[in-house]
Amino acid sequence: MEISGKGVFLTGGARGIGRKLIEALLAKGARVFFCDINESVGRETESELRKQYGDDRVIFQQCDVTKADQFKATFDMAVSNFGAVDVCCNNAGIMDESVPEKMIAINTTAQIRGSQLALEHMRRDRGGRGGVIVSTVSMGGLISSCVAPVYVASKHAMIGYMQSMAFSVYQKEQGVRWISLCPFGVNTNFISPKEEQVIDKDVFLATLDVFGVIELEDVAGAFMRLLQNENNNGAIMESMRMAFTKVWFLEKVLASLENVALNKPAQQVSVYVAASKAVDGNTDGVFANGSCTHTRTPVEDVTWWKVFIRCLWTTLELSEKLINRLKPFLPPDAQ
Ligand SMILES: NC(=O)c1ccc[n+]([C@@H]2O[C@H](COP(=O)([O-])OP(=O)(O)OC[C@H]3O[C@@H](n4cnc5c(N)ncnc54)[C@H](O)[C@@H]3O)[C@@H](O)[C@H]2O)c1
């Protein structure tokens, strides 16, 4: 897909991942209409980006995506400004376990609403010109976590929705591609939550410590690759610092870490470290596995031996970090 000249609509673009995606799109020649609940930061972002890319390339509108009428009016504004929206990025999201209804309203209901607005506008079978609908989901949409269960539930729902739409029998005639971004631990406000936002902040931070944090550039780079590649309807982009780490592997280690940090007896803890299972073959960014397509954040161009070394390294690094984390909880004779 040629990005230059395309009209993009994006939610939650005032800062963080949303802002970085906007910058990447603008750099490739797109025009971006973005909204955010935060008016002051949104305006600031708009003025900074206008200085760099020109007034007609980027437009901000304050909007709370949980307000259906406001959201629709904002989407319509994007259409009337650009003539058409070719790419819709449902990105706004929060992680706050203390407000489950609000979190589901933003992370799930509003993302679905944004997708429905975009689909109605884009679908070729009703006169639209097709397009791409992107959801910033999370690795939380693919794994479990006892420190952020409602967040995880809100994101699992989005994976269910995005995959159902991507593999719908109507997808071809509608001419709309569906892409899910599933990063883990991105360097935004998300990685320093307040106590009440997660069930156990220490465990949350320990998890980030073990798995590492990725930079906004990593997410934006992989996003742009996905957007430009026409053959990846249903893609789920898993991006995390430890490339080539499979989801089940992450989940098992995460569960162990959580168990230990939550003071469960050490005997109940089993740590799975299986480097060979962590390599899943295709490393060129996108591969098909039946019903859906997974992709990894491309770290570099890799050959099989680079993958092997990387996995070995990842396993060693992960094991060492885990062992250090687990040590205080083990019985004295096991230390
Ligand atoms: N940072 C991470 O580690 C991480 C990992 C995986 C997924 N994500 C997802 O990425 C997305 C962006 O998060 P981020 O890390 O950039 O966080 P962020 O807090 O920096 O950005 C989120 C933006 O959404 C806006 N927003 C919140 N509620 C809104 C509402 N009701 N209406 C409109 N805008 C609203 C906020 O004002 C903010 O500008 C979220 O969906 C999040 O779940 C983040």
Tokens found for residue 26: 């603008």
Write the DSSP string, 120-172.
Answer: HHH-GGGT---EEEEEE--GGGTS--TTSHHHHHHHHHHHHHHHHHHT-TTHH
Tell me the average pLDDT across 73-91. 98
Work out the burial of residue 194: count CB atoms within 10 Å of its CB; fewer than 13 is exposed, 13-18 middle, 19 or more buried: exposed
Residue 42 Cβ < 6 Å to ligand 1 = no
Substitution candidate for ligand 1 out of 63, 190, 191, 241 with most atoms within 8 A of CB: 190
Is 151 tagged catalytic? yes
Residue 238 Cβ < 6 Å to ligand 1 = no
Question: Domain boundaries in the chain?
Answer: 7-241
- Per-residue pLDDT of 145-161, as tens digits, reads 889 999 999 999 999 99
- State the Cα–Cα distance between residues 256 and 269, nearest whole angstrom: 6
- Per-residue pLDDT of 259-271, as tens digits, reads 666 655 444 333 3
How do 176-183 and 131-136 pair as beta strands?
A: parallel
Residue 75: how many CB atoms within 10 A of its CB?
A: 25
Model pTM score: 0.86
Q: Which fold has domain 7-241?
A: Rossmann fold (3.40.50)
Q: Helices in the chain by DSSP H: which ranges? A: 16-27, 39-53, 68-82, 100-104, 111-122, 149-166, 171-174, 201-211, 216-228, 247-261, 275-278, 304-326
Give the pLDDT score at 93: 98
How much distance in Å is there from the Cα of 64 to the middle of ligand 1?
13
Nearest to 224 by CA among 16, 21, 82: 21
**Percent of the chain residues past pLDDT 90, beyond the cut:** 55
Rounded to an integer, what is the distance from CA 213 to the centroid of its chain? 13
The residue annotated as part of the active site, out of 53, 151, 170, 272, is: 151
Residue 14 Cβ < 6 Å to ligand 1 = yes
Tell me the average pLDDT across 78-95. 98
- State the Cα–Cα distance between residues 328 and 164, nearest whole angstrom: 44
SS3 at position 32: strand
User: For 11-25, 27-41, 168-182, which range has the lowest pLDDT when averaged over its residues?
Assistant: 168-182
What is the overall mean pLDDT for the chain?
82
- Per-residue pLDDT of 198-225, as tens digits, reads 998 988 888 887 777 888 887 888 888 8
Tokens found for residue 308: 């092997």
Ligand 1 nearest-atom number relative to CA 111: 41
* Residues in CB range of 218: below 8 A, 6 or more apart: 183, 186, 239, 297
Residue 138 Cβ < 6 Å to ligand 1 = yes
